[in-house]
Amino acid sequence: MPYTAIVGLQWGDEGKGKVIDYLAKDYDAVVRFQGGANAGHTVYVNGKKFSFHILPSGLLREEVVGIIGPGVVVDPESFKSEAESLRSQIGDLEGRLFVDPRAHLVMPYHKMEDELFESHSEKPIGTTKKGIGPANRDKYARLGIRLGDILRPSYLREHINRAYDFNRRIVESYGKNFPEKDQILDFLMEFAEYVRPFVADTVLLLEDLEKSGARILLEGAQGTYLDVNFGTYPFVTSSHTISGGAAISGIAPWKIRRVVGVFKAYTTRVGEGPFPTEERSEIGERLKEEGSEFGTTTGRARRCGWLDIPLIRYASIINGVTDLFMTKVDVLEKIGIYRAAVEYEVFEERTGFPPAYSEDWYHIKPVYKDYRSWEDMINEIEKTLEIDVRFVSTGREREEVIERKGG
Ligand code: IMP
């Protein structure tokens, strides 16, 4: 079967960029299926750092085709600046990078609204302010502008008013100026010229790739607990980050036969929301420093804490994980403490799974266990999840991966 999905089992930042780059050596194409420029995937090759937000990380492998599926929201500015920067480093992307015309655009006013909602909210989410929430809101409210629309200017002019009027009312209600329609149209027309060579019906592209026997990676962004259904709602992102989300690229679910679940040897979270094993102490600070836990997209410091086995166990069920990939064990080695939550106490009852009720997340008391080494931690994980940890990442470079049990 051609498809392998790669998903995060925590709150994102599990090191999926490195994992995708590493696994891409055995694949022909990589598909981003959700999210947008809120993602931050970092890859180090020969000491050089590459940061991806909207483009698929697998593009660093020369022979790999990168696809942005219809479920992604595309920010024109990020797309252009990232494609330009990558082109200057690895060469022309035409014929290697494709984006589906059904992908929605993140409009400049979506970013304004994200900023306004956050700064005026009593309980901000701590978003990346990349306009992800408002862009997806408009998609589902049927007010979105799709990439294909800007390649059909007369259609766009006919349809933009509903979106324009609705969003203008929102922005103006905060006392802010809204851009003129012509300004927005000019911006879109300029991007249309840039993006035109990359636009293709990715359903047919994938069908051709499948027929030619290609192996295809599905690159998940963020993590299971940022999923809009299964995450710590409302402190989540506005897309489906789980393996099931990959199917909205027009890929039949039964074709996805392998799901690699990626998790860090400890836990981090950026933004607001519950985090049961958070370590608000000197040790948490050390995890942050040793692990360079600062966001790729926003530079914000990540909150740090211990590995949470109930969390990744539940995530492995939701995603149907077949192989586990554990990252950043070198960071734990530097700290020298191998600790994990093995159960929770919630309202004085023991449980091995996170709650389905938002409120209960705030009442979790983790039950911790200490181990002599990360190998011992892996034994516990494999026993509990009944899934093999096939890969362990021991450093940031491409080569620093241990393949276990046949990999
Ligand atoms: P949004 O996706 O920008 O709307 O942000 C919603 C939440 O998801 C915030 O807590 C963000 O910090 C978090 N988030 C979004 N993208 C990422 C990511 O790539 N890694 C980690 N957290 C993310």
Tell me the per-residue pLDDT of 337-350, one tens digit each, with 9 for 90 and over: 999 999 999 999 99
Q: Nearest Cα to 39, choosing from 286, 256, 238, 326? A: 238
Number of neighbours of residue 88 by Cβ within 10 angstroms: 8
Using the mean position of ligand 1's atoms as its centre, give its distance from the Cα of residue 187 in Å: 26
Using the mean position of ligand 1's atoms as its centre, give its distance from the Cα of residue 53 in Å: 12
3-state secondary structure of 29: strand
Tokens 């090191």, located at residue = 15
- What is the pLDDT at residue 407? 42
Q: Quick one: angle between helices 181-195 and 108-120, nearest 10? A: 120
13 included as an active-site residue:
yes
Query: Which two structure tokens, joined as six digits, stand for 395?
Result: 């450093």
Number of neighbours of residue 356 by Cβ within 10 angstroms: 9
Number of neighbours of residue 154 by Cβ within 10 angstroms: 7
pLDDT in tens, 221-274: 999 999 999 999 999 999 999 999 999 999 999 999 999 999 999 999 999 999
Q: Quick one: angle between helices 132-140 and 153-173, nearest 10? A: 120
Using the mean position of ligand 1's atoms as its centre, give its distance from the Cα of residue 300 in Å: 11
Active-site hit among 13, 75, 149, 227:
13
> 340 - beta bridge partners?
307, 369
CA geometry: angle 80, 399, 99, nearest 5 deg:
25
Tokens 């010229």, located at residue = 193
Pocket lining: 127 vs ligand 1, CB cutoff 6 Å: yes
Does the pTM surpass 0.85? The reply is yes
Pocket lining: 126 vs ligand 1, CB cutoff 6 Å: yes
Strands 104-105 and 73-74: parallel
Q: How far apart (Å, rounded) are the C-alpha atoms in residues 52 and 30?
A: 13
Q: How far apart (Å, rounded) are the C-alpha atoms in residues 352 and 342?
A: 7
Longest dimension (CA), the chain: 66
- What is the pLDDT at residue 48? 87
- What is the pLDDT at residue 15? 93
Q: Nearest Cα to 111, choosing from 128, 97, 126? A: 128
**Atom from ligand 1 closest to the CA of residue 36:** 2
Gyration radius of the chain's alpha carbons:
21
Query: Which two structure tokens, joined as six digits, stand for 301?
Result: 């410091």
Among 55, 237, 267, 269, residue to substitute to test ligand 1 (most atoms within 8 Å of Cβ)? 237
Using the mean position of ligand 1's atoms as its centre, give its distance from the Cα of residue 270 in Å: 7
110 included as an active-site residue:
no
Using the mean position of ligand 1's atoms as its centre, give its distance from the Cα of residue 272 in Å: 10
- What is the pLDDT at residue 297? 79
Residue whose CA lies nearest to ligand 1 atom number 2: 237
- What is the pLDDT at residue 295? 85
Active-site hit among 21, 41, 53, 75:
41
For the chain, residues with pLDDT lower than 50 are 407
Pocket lining: 319 vs ligand 1, CB cutoff 6 Å: no
